[in-house]
Amino acid sequence: MVGRGVNTAWSLTTARNNALDSAGRRIAVLVIAAPCLGIAVGMTVLGAWPVLPFAGLELAAVAAAFRIIARHAGDRERVRLVADRLEIEQVEGTRTRSYGFNRYWAQIVCAADGRRLAVRSHGREVEFGRHLTARQRIEAARQLRSELRRGR
């Protein structure tokens, strides 16, 4: 999402593409768990009791996977030009990292194939755009370079 705020000359906010919200994730776990437990209980009644603990382990692994997905559902990146600063904020899980660059010294580095997008200045480099496709990274680099030139 590209836009201009009150004090922001330019901004780009990207986020993960989450197909399921928290309620959808719970329903998915239940849809997987119900038949698995039904089969495991049925096999236990028939005398194959070792099936039940393995079904429990399987469901624990599925629940752990969905927990990891939920932890990263709010991951996002924001790149902003504010006055003479280029600011990058990256939120991953519970960790937030912020970086600031002087807009006049910042260089935008983008691979020709769009696999990598970064800001470089004074020996420091920060990659961003991991939630974008290669084509979107190339377009974001083009727009950001244009905005940086406009402010010079």
Domain residues of the chain, as ranges?
2-16+75-150, 22-71
Strand pairing category for 117-121 and 10-15: unpaired
* CATH class for the domain made up of 2-16+75-150: mainly beta
- Which residues are paired to 79 by β-bridges? 12, 88
CB within 8 A of 44, min separation 6: which ones?
A: 51, 52
Rg over CA atoms, the chain: 23
Please, what's the b/e burial string for 78-115 (b: 16 or more CB within 10 A of its CB; e: otherwise)? Answer: bbbbeeeebbbbbbeeeeeeebebebeebebebeeebe
Buried b (16+ CB within 10 A) or exposed e, 125-139: ebebbeebebeebbb
Among 96, 97, 89, 102, residue whose Cα is nearest residue 151: 102
Q: Could you read off the pLDDT tens digit of each residue along the chain, which spans 152 residues?
A: 555 544 567 899 999 888 889 999 999 999 999 999 999 999 999 999 999 999 999 999 999 999 999 999 999 999 999 988 999 999 998 899 999 999 999 999 999 999 999 999 999 999 999 999 999 999 999 999 998 888 66
One-letter amino acid at 81 equals L
Which single residue is written with the structure tokens 């997987």?
32
